Amino acid sequence: MENCLYCKNKEKLDSLMIYIADLKVTKLYLFREQTYYGRCVIAYKEHNVDFTELSKEDSALFIEDMQTVGRAIMKSVNPAKVNYGMYSDTLPHLHVHIVPKQKDGYGFGGTFEMNVEPPKYLTDTEYTEIIEKIKSNL
């Protein structure tokens, strides 16, 4: 937990993501890198290594948070599909990448890429716009 991005490394977290909101058992963030426009992550509020460690109640709330964000992204950016990825190989904190994909967009039809080259960043105004859209659809 000492080096956990979500628990102890706020400076790095802030360089990668923008906080949007607290949900039932997770925190919602927008990735600064926006090749997949609207790409977010939810992270469990407490340090937790694996989904299997949650109680039945908390796992249901975690899934509910994931659905809430998926629906908000669908309404906000109208993607062809939303992908969900849970990876914890190098970051042992329960989190899910929620990635909208457009039919003619980057990487459609395959697994989304975590580190796209060249990365796509938005202006401050564009970040504010997408965050407000997502918030209004939560």
- Per residue, the 3-state secondary structure of 93-133, as one string, reads CCEEEEEEECCCCCCCCCCCCCCCCCCCCCCHHHHHHHHHH
| Rounded mean pLDDT, 111-133 | 95
Per-residue pLDDT reduced to its tens digit, 31-55: 999 999 999 999 999 998 789 999 9
65's enclosing H/E stretch is: helix 56-77
| Rounded mean pLDDT, 11-21 | 96
The CATH superfamily holding the domain 10-136 is HIT-like (3.30.428.10)
Average pLDDT of the chain, as a whole number: 94
111: Cβ–Cβ under 8 A, 6 or more apart, which residues?
Answer: 83, 85
> Maximum distance among all alpha carbons in the chain?
41
Residue 130: both structure tokens together = 């997408």
Q: Where are the domains of the chain?
A: 10-136
